[in-house]
A = this chain, B = another copy of it.
Amino acid sequence: MYKLFSVDDHIIEPPGVWADRVPKKFQEAAPHVIEDEGRQFWVYEDQRAPTMGLNAVAGKPREEWQNEPVRYSDMIPGCYDPVERAKDLRSEGIFASVNFPSLPRFAGTLFLEFKDKELAQTCVSAWNDFVIDEWCPAAPELFVPMVILPLWDPKLAAAEIRRCVEKGARAISMVENPAPLGLPSFHTDHWDPIWEACVEADIPICMHIASSGKSTVLTTEEPGIVEIAAAFTRAAHSSVNMMLSPIPRKFPDIKMVWSEGGIGWIPAALERADRQFDRHRYWSRDTDDLLPSDVCRRNMWFCMIEEPIGLKYRSDIGVDKILWESDYPHADTTFPHTQDGAKIVFDGVPDDEVEQITHTNASALFKWEFVAPV
């Protein structure tokens, strides 16, 4: 059996995440679940979310993937119940799992839109407390706590990182590129307090595809599968952007993970970035002589689900930079056929390299003791 550390899964929030934690004055405005027209809705401030569990398809036949869940009962319990989740993951050979939010979006960008920023900050902390105090303790050796940030204020974000690290957080979720959200880009010092706090705690920064919000497809005519199939271009663009930014040059110990972006495109991206860095160095940059590929090999990690071609190129990527993910309960997940899929994917890869990719790389990066049955 492959012993797997999944660095990208998704919590569908149960109804009490905020209701159980925020002070009375925020109960009405913080996200809570109501019943209306025979379905359930998340409501917050003056908004209503269109789905109860975005893309929560685990356990459903593919023919039904177009129907977004409108009630908790439309999802398998492992989506929102950490005890059931732990059973599902262990049955697949997954013994560690890092989770992104759903309602708050991958990097908590929902709260950027909140009018009341005191409420927003309370909601960010409530999600983090839910993860650390309630979700993860349900299977403490399995769930690796990752937290979100109040993205509108990097100093506040740094304080939240330190607060959560104190409580056991082992990673943060960050937007892959803040510019499309209208926030200062990574080519500024705006975000430095966040990087400082992460380097100080030596925790990785996880950047999920599509966490910057914008789609490159701008009409409603394109079928959804185009964005899904081409999603690696977001990880490619945002990681190249980071390789050429001042951040890894200013924070040489920073550790960044591109989640759900795949791996097979990396050698080509590095080849192109290095060639252009060399050609355009005289006018376009005020950085040191570190090549983009040097930055990548020092500061970046990438994730794969099922990529035989990507693994074929593993020596050009760096076997030590490849992590595995399950993406439970989203459409990319291998659940409930993880072990069968892994047999095909890892066919021909030497055992020591399989161990690196399936769990030892992640275990070292997240400083997480990986406990799998012998």
State the A residues within 8 Å of B (CB): 62-66, 179-180, 184-185, 187-188, 214, 216-219, 221-226, 228-233, 236-237, 240-241, 243-244, 262-265, 267-273, 275-277, 279-285, 292, 306-310, 312-313, 316, 331-332
Contact = CB atoms under 8 A, between A and B. Distances in A.
B179 A217 contact: yes
A343 to B, nearest CB: 16
A157 to B, nearest CB: 19
For this chain, the copies found in one complex come to 2
B331 A279 contact: yes
Contact of A244 (B226, B244, B262, B279): B226
B271 A308 contact: yes
Contacts of A187: 221-223
19 contacts: A62-B283, A66-B282, A179-B218, A223-B284, A225-B280, A226-B240, A226-B241, A228-B280, A228-B284, A229-B244, A229-B273, A230-B237, A264-B272, A268-B313, A270-B309, A271-B310, A272-B307, A279-B331, A309-B316
Contacts of A184: 219, 221
A309 B276 contact: no
A262 B273 contact: no
A228 B188 contact: no
Q: Which of A217, A233, A273 is the most central at the interface, judged by chain B CB atoms within 10 Å of its CB? A: A233
Complex A-B, nearest 4 residue pairs according to Cβ-Cβ distance, in ascending order: A264-B268, A66-B283, A225-B284, A185-B221
Contacts of A180: 216, 218
Contacts of A226: 240-241, 244
A260 to B, nearest CB: 11
A80 to B, nearest CB: 23
Contact of A229 (B217, B276, B316): B276
